Every structure is written in structure tokens, then in C-alpha cells.
Amino acid sequence: MSYQVLARKWRPSTFAETVGQEAVLKALVHALDHNRVHHAYLFTGTRGVGKTSIARILAKCLNCEAGVTSVPCGECSACTSIAEGRFVDLIEVDAASRTRVEDTRELLDNVQYTPTVGRFKVYLIDEVHMLSSHSFNALLKTLEEPPEHVKFLLATTDPKRLPVTILSRCLQLHLKNIPAERIAEHLAAILTAEAVAHEGGALRLLARSAEGSLRDALSLTDQAIAFGSGEVRETDVRTMLGSVDHQAVAQLIQALAERDAEHLLSQVDELAQYGADFRVVLDELIGLLHQLAIAQVVPGKVAVPLLEGEALAHLAAQLTGEEVQLYYQFALQGRRDLPLSPDSREAFEMLLLRMLVFRPFEPPTSPNQGDGPAGRLEKKKPLTSEASAVREPAPASPSPDVAGFDRKEAGSAAAVIASNPEDAGGPVAAREPAGEVPRAAAMIHEPARSTDGSTGGSALNGAEPAHGGAGLTEDWVQLAIGLPLSGVARALALNAELSRRDGTDWCLRVDPSHSTLVGAAHQERIQEALCETTGSAIKLSVELGALSAETAAMYLARRERERHLEAVAALEADPAVQALVERFDARLVPESVQPVDGGDA
């Protein structure tokens, strides 16, 4: 005997055997039990969800020798002949191969004749949207007022292509996609009955790949049985489908949680050596991020977990809710942009690096906690990119002369914001706190005072030579903020210190980590801005080296944090806020506080 594929062997023969279409079945059962069967039904839905199967079961219900019933006997000649596809009063038509109006007219010529052996003559027209417009017109009148012995059962995957005149004459029943967990359960029952060894992880992979189609899932299962020599194992199914190990995707998220760029890129390299399709990897990443979000909000409610045991809960604990949401949004945008890149691996790496660079920042909890790592909140501000780290630099390796600042991170963030302040989520590097620019402008022209109290040349206009010192640094910070610059040139000025000045010869020092900002064109723009601002013919040079003082970017970050702390303290001391806290058990969320412009610098 020849082998019968699972999709045909396990086609449902009764409504009770049908999977995942409870709403449609309930409507049909009630209509049959109460003798309210419509003369024309339209079954819609994607491929493989049971449209034709339900239509054939309905034909059985109408023609069963036991009478019109929602539970056909399955043993009479009508039931068996319909199941075997040889019932003469069930006319199945493939609309895709009979699109001509002549075919439709020929079909309708026999409508007037009574059934040969059954109770009803049933016309089952599959993919009815393929009929031509003339065929639809020929069908209209008969479809609206057919003889009492005729029932029309139409099926389509694209109801939008049907004329409204057809839709208005039918009772439409939409079959939904079957959930992956239901498909996996059904596959397990079938394979158990077939005595085929299988693994739950393999069935979940097959169910997800079927995308809601039970027929596709059964076809894939047939393929998996052949691929695995009579068994359905997860490793074989993963290889067959070309999918990625969920553990590899989990390692990518773990590397993001640990901020480990080297581990992140090494995982991408391993995936590339494995020959993974990075579009598939990205789909798996999106799916896992979705499950992490659910695990964080409602633990234990993930229907088909991609990670076994406590692994999902453990990974969910490594990230904040804000990070998961941000990564998910990045991944969706990356999925849209991935086909635009000539190299999918390159695009995928850029997406992961974007996730690594842009992340929520951690403002301090109260004014008494200072600027160091101890003064940071456990919760992170939602959807604020790491570019905003110019407001709140990371606490790694603070310099002894600038407490609580990481020059490398703060400077990089300032460079990003200065290049595109609107996208950074804040105006910190684009403009200074209120009151700073006028003071810097005044300082340029303010006479410098000597040790005896007399006034000399301007502090920064070149009249008095200077070779360093705290005063020179402070003057440069204010001057750099007020210079009419934008883009990379402004970022370079903000991330530099004035290392020495001898008359009109000025030298800026930049940390080697910001060497990418240094360029002849940017240096020339800064020089022109200095000449215009000071009124002197300044000759500017730039050198690389370790910084010895606070840069303008660090100053702006510190001032922004201080303003935030002052605003939080002011709210905490406000009597109205205190009354709300005491009366309604309210809680002030520090990260939601935004200082208003116009504060004292």
C-alpha cells in the first residue's frame, strides 16, 4: 500500500476533530441543530487552516442518511463516499482552473436538477476569488436565490478580491490562524498515534515555522520524519529548517546585557561560520525579546518558550524592561532595513552595535548621593539613548581630578549629540544651561587682572601670554561653549582642553579615544570661530594626549546633573509634594524630573 501523507491521513472528518476554529464550528453546529442553514457560505482564511475540510464536513452533515445533523455518522454510504471524494452530489470546483464564464454557465445549467442520491446538491468552489468578473456576474442570480435543494460553499484566501455583490449574498465565516502551541499539541498527538519518536523542541520549531497553518505543519512533519530517519529530533529539524539555536540568540542578548562588545561580535562570527541566515537570526532575536518582555511583566505566561527551564527567567532578570523594549524596537527597524544592506552580516552587526551604544541612562537618586557610581538609580530612564550620557556619564574609571566622570564615554556622547542634537533626546551639547553663553562672551573681552590688581589684556584674546593653569582651563570651557560651531567641529571643541597658549598661538589637546574628531577641516572651522569671537588672528593647532582637566563636554554633563539634582531636591522639599506623599502614599520618580531652563549656572 502506498504511503499517505499526514495532511491527508489526518484530515478531520467531524467538527470535533477540527483544530483551532471554535467560533466557526459553533456557528455551524447551532445552524445545523436548529435547522437554520444558510444557502451560501463563504469560508475565508489563510492556507491550511481548514476551509475545505470544514466545507466537506458540512456537506456530510447535510447529506448524512441519519438526517441533517452536526454529528454525521461517518458510516452511511453518503458519509463514506464524501470522505472518499466520489459523492456525485458534491460538486467540487477549482476556480483557478475554471475561470471562464462558459465554465460557470455550464456548471449552473445543472443547478435546477434535483440531487441524484443525496438530500442536497452541494457546490464547493475553492479559491473562488480566481473567477473572472463575467463568471461572478453569471453566478449572482443563482447565488442569491438558488433552488431549495442547492447549497453553495465558497472558499478563498483573498476575500478582498471578491465583488461586494458576492459578499452580500453569502454568510461569511473567517477561519483564523491556529496558535503555535495548539499546532504543537496536535502534532504530538499525531506522532504518538503514528508511533514516531519525537522531541517537544522539534515540534515547537515546526509549529512556529508553519505560521498558523496546520497543513503546512503536517507537511513539514512529514519532511522531518524523512530527514530524521523515522524520528523527529530538534537538531535535525533545526538543520532542516535552517533555523538558529535559541541558545546562540540568548548569548547575543546576554552579551548586550553585559555590555561586552567583544563577546557580542564573537557570537556573530560563530553564527557566520555556521552559515546562519542573519534574517532568520534577527527573527529569532525579535521572538526572544518578545518572550523576555512577557517574562518580565507576567512570569510563567509565555506560551511556547524558546528557552527551557529557568533560562528564560534568568535572562529576563539581566535586563530592565526599558532595555528590552528599546532593543525590540531597534530589532523591528533593523528587520525593515536589513534587505537594504548589500551584506546581511554587516547590517546585523551594526544593529547589535546600535543596541549596545544606545541605552537608557541612570540619573542619581538624590542631591546627597554625589556624582559617583553610588549616586545612580536602579531604574533607568525609558527610551533615552546612550548619546544622552553627556548628561550622565558612565562611572567607569573616574579621573581623580574630575570626580565621577569617564572622559571617554562622556566625550563620545557629546560628539554624537553635537552632530545631531535633535536625535539625541536633549539639548545638552547643542546648548549650555541658561546663562552660560553670556558669561563666556563677557569673559572673552573682560580684562585680565594681574597679581597687583591692575588690569591687562583680555583673558583669552592673546594680549597676555599664558601657558596653562586652572584659570586658562575654566576660560576655555566657557569660550568653547559659546563658539558659533556645530556638528563635528563643535564636538571637537567641547571634548578638548586648551593645553597651552602663547600669544596668538593656541594648542588644543584631545584624548586619543576621540582621535576620529580631529581633522584639518574641523580644526580650521574652530580657528575661524576663535578669530571671529576674539578679534585676534589666532593660529590653532591640535595634539593628542591625556587630558589634565575637565572639558566643556564634561562641564555641561556635570551642570546638567547638578540641575537635575537641584530640581529633585526642590520637589522633595515642596510642601505640596510632601502632602501628596503623606496623604496618598505617592512616590516621586526622580528620573521623570526635568529641570526647567533659566536656572542659575
Position 359 scores a pLDDT of 67
Same domain, yes or no, for 541 and 572? no
Could you tell me if residue 520 is left (phi over 0), alpha (psi between -120 and 50 degrees) or otherwise beta?
A: alpha
Per-residue pLDDT band for 49 (boundaries 50, 70, 90) equals very high
Buried-state track 122-143, b at ≥16 Cβ within 10 A, e below 16: bbbbbbbbbbeeebbebbeebb
Report residue 584 as a C-alpha cell.
496618598
Task: Give the residue-averaged pLDDT of 557-564.
Answer: 90
Report residue 566 as a C-alpha cell.
537641584
Report residue 132 as a C-alpha cell.
473572472
Same domain, yes or no, for 230 and 250? no
- Provide the Cα torsion 394, 400, 401, 403; round to 10°: 40
Strands of 40-44's sheet, edge to edge? Answer: 90-94, 121-126, 150-156, 40-44, 171-174
Alpha-carbon distance of 35 to 33, in angstroms, equals 6
- Domain boundary among the residues 119, 150, 174 is at 174
- The length of the chain in residues reads 601
Alpha-carbon distance of 547 to 397, in angstroms, equals 14
- Provide the Cα torsion 147, 153, 156, 159; round to 10°: 50
Alpha-carbon distance of 359 to 381, in angstroms, equals 9
CATH number of the domain where residue 440 is located = 3.30.300.150
Is residue 90, in this structure, part of any structural domain at all? yes
Alpha-carbon distance of 515 to 65, in angstroms, equals 88
Residue 195 corresponds to which amino acid? Answer: A
Is residue 88, in this structure, part of any structural domain at all? yes
Per-residue pLDDT band for 253 (boundaries 50, 70, 90) equals very high
Alpha-carbon distance of 349 to 137, in angstroms, equals 55
Per-residue pLDDT band for 515 (boundaries 50, 70, 90) equals confident
Alpha-carbon distance of 60 to 122, in angstroms, equals 10
Is residue 422, in this structure, part of any structural domain at all? no
Same domain, yes or no, for 20 and 138? yes
- Domain boundary among the residues 241, 263, 278 is at 241
- Pairing mode, strands 455-458 and 447-449: antiparallel
Task: Determine how many CB atoms are found less than 10 A away from the CB of residue 159.
Answer: 18
**What does the pLDDT look like over 355-411, one tens digit per residue?**
988 866 554 444 444 443 333 333 333 333 333 333 333 333 333 333 333 433 334
Check whether 523 has a pLDDT greater than 80.
yes
Same domain, yes or no, for 279 and 347? yes
519 exposed, middle or buried (CB, 10 Å; 0-12, 13-18, 19+)?
middle
Q: Which run of H or E residues covers position 94?
A: strand 90-94
- Domain boundary among the residues 328, 357, 386 is at 357
Position 488 scores a pLDDT of 86
Same domain, yes or no, for 107 and 23? yes
**What does the pLDDT look like over 474-485, one tens digit per residue?**
788 989 999 999
- What is the end-to-end Cα distance of the chain in Å, rounded? 90
Same domain, yes or no, for 570 and 528? no
Strands of 496-502's sheet, edge to edge? Answer: 496-502, 505-510, 539-544
Position 245 scores a pLDDT of 77
Phi, psi of 507 (to 5 degrees): -130, 125
- Residues 6 or more apart whose Cβ sits within 8 Å of residue 317: none
Q: Which run of H or E residues covers position 580?
A: helix 575-584
- Range in 225-234, 301-310, 521-530 with the lowest mean pLDDT: 301-310
Q: How is residue 232 annotated by DSSP?
A: B
Per-residue pLDDT band for 521 (boundaries 50, 70, 90) equals confident
Position 427 scores a pLDDT of 34
Same domain, yes or no, for 169 and 281? no
Residue 481 corresponds to which amino acid? Answer: I
- Contacts by 596-601, CB closer than 8 A, 24 or more apart: 596/567, 597/433, 597/434, 598/434, 598/435, 599/433, 599/434, 599/435, 599/563, 599/566, 600/435, 601/432, 601/433, 601/434, 601/435, 601/436, 601/439, 601/559
Q: Could you list the residue range(s) of the whole structural domain that residue 305 is in?
A: 246-357
Per the structure, the count of domains in the chain is 5
Q: Which run of H or E residues covers position 337?
A: helix 321-337
**What does the pLDDT look like over 77-104, one tens digit per residue?**
999 999 988 999 999 988 888 778 888 8
Position 82 scores a pLDDT of 93
Report residue 287 as a C-alpha cell.
521572538
Per-residue pLDDT band for 513 (boundaries 50, 70, 90) equals confident
Same domain, yes or no, for 254 and 344? yes
Check whether 34 has a pLDDT greater than 60.
yes
Check whether 454 has a pLDDT greater than 80.
no
Is residue 409, in this structure, part of any structural domain at all? no
Same domain, yes or no, for 544 and 565? no
Phi, psi of 249 (to 5 degrees): -65, -40
Same domain, yes or no, for 140 and 270? no
Same domain, yes or no, for 343 and 300? yes
CATH number of the domain where residue 200 is located = 1.10.8.60
Residues 557, 558, 561, 563: is their CA dihedral positive or negative?
negative
List helix spans (H) across 436-551.
Answer: 436-445, 470-482, 487-494, 520-534
Report residue 583 as a C-alpha cell.
496623604
pTM exceeds cut of 0.95: no
Is residue 539, in this structure, part of any structural domain at all? yes
Nearest of 344, 356, 326 to residue 255 by alpha carbon? 356
Alpha-carbon distance of 95 to 459, in angstroms, equals 89
Is residue 548, in this structure, part of any structural domain at all? yes
For helices 261-274 and 246-257, give the axis angle rounded to 10 degrees: 160
SS3 197: coil
List helix spans (H) across 127-213.
Answer: 133-144, 164-167, 180-193, 200-210
Task: Give the residue-averaged pLDDT of 447-458.
Answer: 39
- Range in 143-157, 421-435, 503-517, 536-550 with the lowest mean pLDDT: 421-435
Is residue 396, in this structure, part of any structural domain at all? no
Is residue 402, in this structure, part of any structural domain at all? no
- The full 3-state SS of 155-173, as one line of letters, equals EECCHHHCCHHHHCCCEEE
Alpha-carbon distance of 391 to 414, in angstroms, equals 9
Same domain, yes or no, for 196 and 157? no
Alpha-carbon distance of 341 to 361, in angstroms, equals 30
Position 409 scores a pLDDT of 39
Check whether 435 has a pLDDT greater than 50.
no
